[in-house]
Amino acid sequence: MSSKASEVLSLLKRDVLLGNLKRGERLDGRGPEDYREIKIETGIIGKAEGSALVHIGDTKVIAGVKAEIGTPFPDTPNQGVQIVNAELIPLASPIFEPGPPGEDDIELARVIDRGLRSAETIRLDELVLIPGKKVWTIFIDIYSLDYNGNLFDASGLAALSALLTTNLKKTEITGENIILKEEEQPLPVGRKPVYVTLVKIEDILLVDPSYEEELLADARITFIVDESDNICGIQKGGKKGFKPSEILKAADIAIETATKLRKILPST
Amino acid sequence: MSSKASEVLSLLKRDVLLGNLKRGERLDGRGPEDYREIKIETGIIGKAEGSALVHIGDTKVIAGVKAEIGTPFPDTPNQGVQIVNAELIPLASPIFEPGPPGEDDIELARVIDRGLRSAETIRLDELVLIPGKKVWTIFIDIYSLDYNGNLFDASGLAALSALLTTNLKKTEITGENIILKEEEQPLPVGRKPVYVTLVKIEDILLVDPSYEEELLADARITFIVDESDNICGIQKGGKKGFKPSEILKAADIAIETATKLRKILPST
Amino acid sequence: MSSKASEVLSLLKRDVLLGNLKRGERLDGRGPEDYREIKIETGIIGKAEGSALVHIGDTKVIAGVKAEIGTPFPDTPNQGVQIVNAELIPLASPIFEPGPPGEDDIELARVIDRGLRSAETIRLDELVLIPGKKVWTIFIDIYSLDYNGNLFDASGLAALSALLTTNLKKTEITGENIILKEEEQPLPVGRKPVYVTLVKIEDILLVDPSYEEELLADARITFIVDESDNICGIQKGGKKGFKPSEILKAADIAIETATKLRKILPST
Amino acid sequence: MKISPIKLIDENGRRIDGRLPHEIRKVKIESGVLKNADGSAYIELGNNKIIVAVYGPREVYPKHQALADRALLRCRYSMAPFSVEERKTPSPTRREIELSKVIREALEPAIFLEEYPRTAIDVFIEVLEADGGTRTASITAASVALADAGIPMRDLVTAIAIGKVEGLLVVDLNGLEDQYGEGDMPIAMMPQLGYVTLFQADGRFTAEELKEAFKLANDAIKKIYEEQKQALKRKYLKVAEIGEI
Amino acid sequence: MKISPIKLIDENGRRIDGRLPHEIRKVKIESGVLKNADGSAYIELGNNKIIVAVYGPREVYPKHQALADRALLRCRYSMAPFSVEERKTPSPTRREIELSKVIREALEPAIFLEEYPRTAIDVFIEVLEADGGTRTASITAASVALADAGIPMRDLVTAIAIGKVEGLLVVDLNGLEDQYGEGDMPIAMMPQLGYVTLFQADGRFTAEELKEAFKLANDAIKKIYEEQKQALKRKYLKVAEIGEI
Amino acid sequence: MKISPIKLIDENGRRIDGRLPHEIRKVKIESGVLKNADGSAYIELGNNKIIVAVYGPREVYPKHQALADRALLRCRYSMAPFSVEERKTPSPTRREIELSKVIREALEPAIFLEEYPRTAIDVFIEVLEADGGTRTASITAASVALADAGIPMRDLVTAIAIGKVEGLLVVDLNGLEDQYGEGDMPIAMMPQLGYVTLFQADGRFTAEELKEAFKLANDAIKKIYEEQKQALKRKYLKVAEIGEI
């Protein structure tokens, strides 16, 4: 992930990994387009309006959703507010450092945020309480707990799963006064974007990279795919480039993979 | 105080100090339960609503109280606001560094704050001007000027003395409008907590530690005691532990010491 | 400018520069009281209410003016708000570092700000929309693009030129409601302060110092002069002092120079 | 002080969650829950959910912080924004900074820091859900994580809060009792060695109540200490089993 | 999503500024515009006005950031407060921090960093006026500034945004199209080598549209690439002329 | 500009606190008031109360800031939150940062920094109460603290503000005169050597008024200079007396 991390992989391990890959084998036995095992636990944080802990292999990410009544942005008076925050906390990896969010945290948060916006996952227009004055603000906080590769997909899956299981209190509005009731209702959600990341090592494309594969990767690309196979976001990273043909091939793989991943989403 | 400081004391000085202590002698001639000389000057800052400069031996701490009209916290609409800030400024000691408050400053401020709250020293319920909307906010700012041990007690004494001599402007309220009058009245105060700190060096308990004694100390404990001998707060610090019996003994000493210190408090 | 910079000039170059100066020659051929060539381009930033790019020799500074409707300061309910910000961005010089504004940025911004205030350049009293509630806030942001000496004068000239060419939208106010109209009108301006900086090298006073001259300088002084030859601000800098007679001589030179510079100001 | 809108002790002497005054909440501790960390632990104490990772002994950055005669112990106590009723800002609050310090000082007496000069031992605590008593639960879990990391210790550190509710001393305050009660007194001990390594109090207590508090704490700490040891044993057995395959 | 208050494509298939879907805005590039910087460039793309300075290869501070096997590439993308409709705060926003990263990653593949181990190459980008497409215009200008600094490169990097407006793919979105359109897909390429070094998307696109986007980008990039080379040539000629005097 | 709600000069030419135009406020200076600092001073000028500590010459941290040919002079001017009418935030304001710089530059010419290469001399100024003229009073006290620290100096630095009130030049503005007056011109000098080391102005002055200001400042500075020397002498005598016992 960070440039510092890229120095960690020993040359020896690098050669072994590369040799295996050229024979179509990944270190953990997967084929190039195989995803690791996924486990999603939802509703685990009682104080949160929604929450999910996602395991992708040994990678663990938790997302929590909090809802507060706030004021809309001046230029979108008839929409709720969505705020995504991601923190690569030092608990999750020896390469993460304490301190305010760095460029990796911020890129991750913004990519998750844009995917949810493009897919209109949170129906922001249905979160208005008093037009122009009071709306729901939905905070999505994403914390990595164990980083072993592919934080983008794990974070996206955690955020989506948390949102799909989020409940908001019903409200009663009289004039300017908002009363929160005990009863709850599900957060209104639109499309469900799935994040699929591939890396490129020399000319090999690998789905769902492990940490070692990320260290070795020349470049990374994430596709955000909705249930109609539309692409709701793309983010390329890494220190080298892709050929256009590689990107198009990666997009096809991502769309296929997303269809499979979609099956394990929690039901709203 | 800070881990860096603990390296300052030379081994030689350490041995002398320890040897003396075992014979019941402190470097400045005090017995284990003796407090240094205290001097309190109040009303020294004309621009402040209350102020006090406290000397404990060569330690000097100044506290100033400012009162502003503000809004209450949403969960306590019928209470004023108390804010305590403490700064270990580099003027006071070569071991204090410039910059934003560190963990030592913050611990100190929070311990003083909790003691005042537990004792209900500031009668926050009497500081409401317009319920839910306008209350007095009382800022207590504590600045160390010369640090020669026992900042907790000196800061507590400075804060309390400043509060006991604080005057607020009288107000005239018509509807939502608050007019400040020229006349003043004393800040409403409740219980008067006195802070008493002991350190433990090997198995010896010492009241009101000097700087050298703090460097040598295995652990530190502060008791906050009100006029009914109730304990309104405790804070243990330092890199080693206490036996429960030591804590109970320290509590007894602290309560006794507090009774003595209470006699020199400024009258309201 | 910064203490670090002062170490850059080699001893050799120093001797040459000094030798020349003593013969009345500056490195670029100017006489002691000669100003470098000035170029002012205004109206260059379409999104800004006013803007100017100023060249003084190879020094380039850009200033942009933005206007927003905001609330007045509580102690000046019947005045608009003026905010000046200056950034010595690392694009402009190898000696400028990224990061939040340091003491050089802040001094520069505050000197420009004070000059404009003392001259009442922005007629803040004419920027009130709803007394005590809504006023125009005028932001002046000054960015150095190429730093080759004399940022004070270049920044002052850029700020003044931007203000002289600033247009505000006309408003229509009904009750508490402010409507911005398409039509514009010039920002109301009062006196026009010109900033003139001299440095002292040994006992020689030089107008409009180059970067090398600043490195060599013992002290710096800036005079802010209005169209009535009044001094609207002074700022001395640098690691040595001036004799009072030197300051008075510098003031005379500055007033003379300001008269010349004033001729190239953009017309409102 | 906030006035409790609810009765915290009922006519049968039961607390709001049904416990008797001296009862602790259900506790569950697991060790070795993270792959990257050198040691880790997870604790549930009632509704509290806390995860702890330990890294080290490892190199110190920045280097000038290293200590010549012992390891540098660092501790970061952090609450996830979604762990509390009102979303907490992600940046460290003053409360978190103080708690990081007192938790570090609670753990330090138990560790043979002098065995690893010039290194750092980092304890990272993330509170995923909070419901009263996070600092004590964090200490309990952190000492398991330290042991899980194989760091030599004099003893485990075990912690519990004693509180005062409607005039009564009770053990292990929950969130509501903490908010509306009259006092909170978190205590950490090295149970075998009998040393108190964290001790704070908030509210008003008599000297007599202090004595009683230690007694109550003692019993609770014994129970939790057993859970800590079980958690470490289970991990050891699991490792052993895998080893045998 | 904001609903457009205006029609972005008229009945003749013209865009709001009169362009056809595949047309780019007027572009003007100059190199060597700053005296202090080792290399510099200025670009105008429609109303966008951006200046770029390159410093390096030079010593790295703080030293521990230096890389043993290559130069450290650093990039700072910054918008002047007056560059946008509502004044931007001078301190870096999260958007600027992300863009600094992706722009750096877009430039990195083109530079022979391995030729300057233990040094730093700094790219400073200041957006003076913004009107849609500042990241792509910044990349285009930055690679000219790098070449102007004499830093050896595999190829220039050239960038353009493809967008979706009223269901139609268009080239080089302006500010209004960006704000009210349905999608934005910035693309940077090394034109000679055929590698894509920046690729992002926002909005919704089909896989088919991705293919079409590359075709449209290709043509636009070719045009801009010529402008980049001209800018470098003009500077070279200017230098040569001066040299002759 | 704020309009004065009060008359600043009365019919007898007296100022609001009864002074004549050229009169300074009561001044009291003490040196050696702190135990830890290497040198210290306390000044009261009217209602201004300021304490200054000097540490050094001492080692520089971080080390890379050390200068090879002279001592690094650092200065921190800070106002206590309770020193002013409206509570000041504890973190440094832009005003405090600028004043730290100009005060440092006012003191620097007086110190033989070249005698202590690679060390730091730190001047910490805390304004406990402010009532107009804190920067000049700070300089006056700081130079006493430097001398008290035994740092070799070319001369003391002595400072005073000249102001313009209802068209009249007056010496040593108080807070109200500063707030409602027409101009403020702080001046610091090395009185023996005749050098001006701080000079600022705010408001509007003619070139003629500049000349007059220097004259007024000269007289005031002479008086304060005597107070500085007395403060140092008293400390010396005190030390001598103690020495004799």
Cβ contact, residue pair A231, E94, below 8 Å? no
Single out the residue of F6, F3, F45, F22 nearest to residue F168, CA to CA.
F22
Cβ contact, residue pair D81, A85, below 8 Å? yes
Residue E13 lies in a domain: no
Residue burial E202-236, b: 16+ Cβ < 10 Å; e: rest: bbbbebebbeebbebbeebbeebbebbbebbeebe
Compute the mean pLDDT over every residue in chain C, rounded to the nearest whole number. Answer: 94
The yes-or-no verdict on residue E236 having pLDDT over 80 is no
Distance between CA atoms of residues C125 and C135, nearest Å: 9
The yes-or-no verdict on residue A2 having pLDDT over 70 is no
Per-residue pLDDT of A142-185, as tens digits, reads 999 999 999 999 999 999 999 999 999 999 999 889 999 999 99
What's the ipTM?
Answer: 0.95
Residue E188 tokens, joined? 């940077």
Single out the residue of A79, A83, A65, A85 nearest to residue A165, CA to CA.
A65
Chain CA centroid to CA E108, Å: 13
pLDDT at E242: 52
Residue B6 lies in a domain: no
Helix A103-118 vs helix E94-107: crossing angle, to nearest 10: 100
| pLDDT band at D2; cut points 50, 70, 90 | low
Per-residue pLDDT of A103-153, as tens digits, reads 999 999 999 999 999 999 999 999 999 999 999 999 999 999 999 999 999
Single out the residue of D97, D168, D85 nearest to residue D131, CA to CA.
D85
- Written as one letter, the residue type at D140 is T
The yes-or-no verdict on residue A244 having pLDDT over 50 is yes
Which chain E residues are Cβ-neighbours of A231 within 8 angstroms? 201, 204-207, 210
Distance between CA atoms of residues A266 and A164, nearest Å: 7
Cβ contact, residue pair B244, D214, below 8 Å? yes
Cβ count near F14 (within 10 Å): 13
Span of C20-24, C165-169, E233-237, F34-38 with lowest mean pLDDT: E233-237
Would you call D64 an interface residue with chain B, using a CB distance cutoff of 8 Å? no
The number of domains in chain A is 1
Query: What CATH code is carried by the domain that includes residue C198?
Result: 3.30.230.70
**What is the domain extent for residue C203?**
11-262
Would you call C90 an interface residue with chain E, using a CB distance cutoff of 8 Å? yes
Residue A107 lies in a domain: yes
Distance between CA atoms of residues D181 and D160, nearest Å: 16
Q: Who's near B149: CB < 8 A, 6+ residues apart? A: B56, B57, B59, B208, B209, B210, B211, B212, B213, B214
The yes-or-no verdict on residue D239 having pLDDT over 70 is no
Q: Who's near E159: CB < 8 A, 6+ residues apart? A: E106, E135, E136, E137, E139, E140, E186, E187, E188, E189, E198, E221, E224
Share of chain E above pLDDT 70, in %: 95
| pLDDT band at F33; cut points 50, 70, 90 | very high
The yes-or-no verdict on residue C2 having pLDDT over 60 is no
The yes-or-no verdict on residue D78 having pLDDT over 90 is yes
Cβ contact, residue pair E81, C94, below 8 Å? no
The yes-or-no verdict on residue D130 having pLDDT over 60 is yes
Query: What CATH code is carried by the domain that includes residue F54?
Result: 3.30.230.70
Residue D213 lies in a domain: yes
Q: Who's near B129: CB < 8 A, 6+ residues apart? A: B69, B135, B136, B171, B173, B178
Residue D121 lies in a domain: yes
| pLDDT band at E240; cut points 50, 70, 90 | low
Which chain F residues are Cβ-neighbours of C256 within 8 angstroms? none
Q: Is B23 helix (H, G, I), strand (E, B) or coil?
A: coil
pLDDT at C4: 43
Per-residue pLDDT of E151-178, as tens digits, reads 999 999 999 999 999 999 999 999 999 9
pLDDT at E235: 81
Across A254-266, average pLDDT? 96
pLDDT at F202: 95
Residue D22 lies in a domain: no
Distance between CA atoms of residues B231 and B254, nearest Å: 9
Would you call D210 an interface residue with chain B, using a CB distance cutoff of 8 Å? yes
The number of domains in chain D is 1
Cβ contact, residue pair D194, B244, below 8 Å? yes
Single out the residue of B129, D168, D144, E101 nearest to residue A237, CA to CA.
E101
Distance between CA atoms of residues B162 and F49, nearest Å: 17
What chains are in contact with C, requiring at least 3 Cβ pairs below 8 Å? E, F
- Written as one letter, the residue type at F120 is A
Distance between CA atoms of residues C114 and C112, nearest Å: 6
The yes-or-no verdict on residue E124 having pLDDT over 70 is yes
Across A210-233, average pLDDT? 97
Q: Who's near E215: CB < 8 A, 6+ residues apart? A: none
* Cα of A88 to nearest chain E Cα, Å: 15
**What is the domain extent for residue F60?**
27-244
Cα separations (Å) of C171 from B110, C163, C186, C268? Answer: 50, 19, 13, 20
Chain CA centroid to CA A98, Å: 21
10-residue mean pLDDT profile of chain B (268 residues): values are 50 84 90 97 98 98 98 95 98 96 98 98 97 97 98 98 98 93 97 98 96 95 98 97 98 98 90
Across E106-126, average pLDDT? 98
Residue C251 lies in a domain: yes
pLDDT at C180: 95
Distance between CA atoms of residues B129 and B168, nearest Å: 12
Residue burial E120-155, b: 16+ Cβ < 10 Å; e: rest: bbbbbbbbbbbbbbbbbbbbbbbbbbbbbbebebeb
Which chain A residues are Cβ-neighbours of D83 within 8 angstroms? 45, 47-48, 64
Residue E22 lies in a domain: no
Residue C5 lies in a domain: no
B123 dihedral zone (left: phi>0; alpha: psi -120 to 50; beta): beta
Question: Are residues B257 and B35 in contact, defined by beta-carbon separation less than 8 angstroms?
Answer: yes
* Cα of D187 to nearest chain B Cα, Å: 10
In chain C, residues 94-113 whose CB comes closer than 8 Å to chain E: 94, 98, 100-101
What chains are in contact with B, requiring at least 3 Cβ pairs below 8 Å? D, F
pLDDT at A3: 39
Would you call D89 an interface residue with chain A, using a CB distance cutoff of 8 Å? no
The yes-or-no verdict on residue F96 having pLDDT over 70 is yes
pLDDT at B24: 85
Strands E119-129 and E168-171: unpaired
Residue C191 lies in a domain: yes
Distance between CA atoms of residues D34 and A94, nearest Å: 12
pLDDT at D235: 81
Residue F4 lies in a domain: no
Per-residue pLDDT of E23-77, as tens digits, reads 999 999 999 999 999 999 999 999 999 999 999 999 998 888 999 999 999 999 9
Mutate to test the interface with D, among A54, A62, A145 (most CBs of D within 10 A): A145
Cβ contact, residue pair A247, E210, below 8 Å? yes
Residue B55 tokens, joined? 């000397």
pLDDT at B240: 97
CA end-to-end span of chain C, whole Å? 33
Residue F124 tokens, joined? 């910490």
The tokens 């593949």 sit on which residue?
Answer: E109
Compute the mean pLDDT over every residue in chain F, rounded to the nearest whole number. Answer: 94
DSSP one-letter string for A9-61? S-HHHHHHHHHHHHTT--TTS--TTPPPPEEEEES--TTSSEEEEEEETTEEE
Residue F3 tokens, joined? 């309009």
What chains are in contact with D, requiring at least 3 Cβ pairs below 8 Å? A, B
Residue E8 lies in a domain: no
Phi, psi dihedral angles at D197 (to 5 degrees): -110, -20
The tokens 């109970």 sit on which residue?
Answer: B248
Q: Hey, which bits of chain B come out as E strands?
A: 38-42, 50-56, 59-70, 81-87, 128-130, 134-146, 167-174, 177-186, 194-201, 204-207, 219-225, 231-237
Question: Are residues C224 and C231 in contact, defined by beta-carbon separation less than 8 angstroms?
Answer: yes
CA Rg, chain D, in Å?
18
| pLDDT band at F239; cut points 50, 70, 90 | low
Share of chain E above pLDDT 90, in %: 91
Strand partners, D42: D30, D51
Question: Are residues A53 and A61 in contact, defined by beta-carbon separation less than 8 angstroms?
Answer: yes
Distance between CA atoms of residues B168 and B165, nearest Å: 10
For the entire predicted model, the pTM comes to 0.95
Residue C214 tokens, joined? 């600043």
Distance between CA atoms of residues D199 and D234, nearest Å: 30
Residue F9 lies in a domain: no
Residue F232 tokens, joined? 């140092």
The yes-or-no verdict on residue F245 having pLDDT over 50 is no
CA end-to-end span of chain E, whole Å? 59
